[in-house]
Amino acid sequence: MDGKRLVVDVVALAVYALVANPAWTGIGLHEWASLGLFVVFIVHCAMHVDWVVETFAGLVRRPSPARTGNLVLDALTLAALMTTAVSGILVSGAVLPALGLYADGYYFWDPLHAISAKVLLALLLVHVVAHWKWLYNFLRGGKASAVRAAREAGEADERG
């Protein structure tokens, strides 16, 4: 990972932390900014596609608990994000009406959105904690230290 990727990831996480709570931002800003964050998430995935390819290849070559755990964590995070995004759009009080649309099933989508958003937050925290040593070494000593830390942890991923 280089500095640009780290900046994108840190900004996305900071904006998510602010936008995730509609009591802080209001419903309208929460919904529109969340759509923007979805675009940032797509950029994040595109920037780390090499890591995904390497992780899958590494699982085939040399399976390890760290690789498998990272992949499972990322898959669960993706599922939680998609559930949160879809349920958020379908329970929308600002985005859908602005587009002239309406979705039935509020009493299904609203609790699903609340639960999946909490699961997403928990998974994002686990993701950050799982990579804290790599992040610390990157900030302290650059990419080489971070790669070394990842290898020592058995991750064997260079995160870009």
The span from the CA of 66 to the CA of 6, in Å, is 21
Instruction: Using pLDDT thresholds of 50, 70 and 90, give the confidence band for residue 159.
Output: very low
pLDDT for 160: 42
Domain ranges of the chain: 49-152
The span from the CA of 41 to the CA of 35, in Å, is 10
Sign for the CA dihedral angle at 145, 147, 148, 149 comes to positive
pLDDT for 142: 64
pLDDT digits 0-9 by tens, 6-39: 787 888 888 888 888 899 999 999 999 999 888 8
- Check if the beta carbon of residue 2 is closer than 8 Å to that of residue 160: yes
Phi, psi of 71 (to 5 degrees): -65, -40
Please give the residue that has the higher pLDDT: either 88 or 137: 88
- HSE, CB side, 13 Å, CA atoms: give it for residue 54: 11
Please give the residue that has the higher pLDDT: either 148 or 45: 45
- Check if the beta carbon of residue 109 is closer than 8 Å to that of residue 87: yes
The span from the CA of 29 to the CA of 9, in Å, is 21
Q: How far from the centroid of its chain's Cα atoms is residue 142's Cα?
A: 23
Phi, psi of 159 (to 5 degrees): 50, 40
pLDDT digits 0-9 by tens, 75-117: 999 999 999 999 999 999 899 999 999 999 999 999 999 999 9
pLDDT for 148: 57
DSSP 3-state assignment of 105? coil
Whether pLDDT at 158 is above 50: no
In whole numbers, what is the pLDDT of the chain averaged over residues? 84
The span from the CA of 91 to the CA of 144, in Å, is 45
Tokens found for residue 78:
């993706």
Please give the residue that has the higher pLDDT: either 99 or 146: 99
- Lowest average pLDDT, out of 64-68, 138-142, 148-152, 153-157, goes to 153-157
Tokens found for residue 121:
């937050």
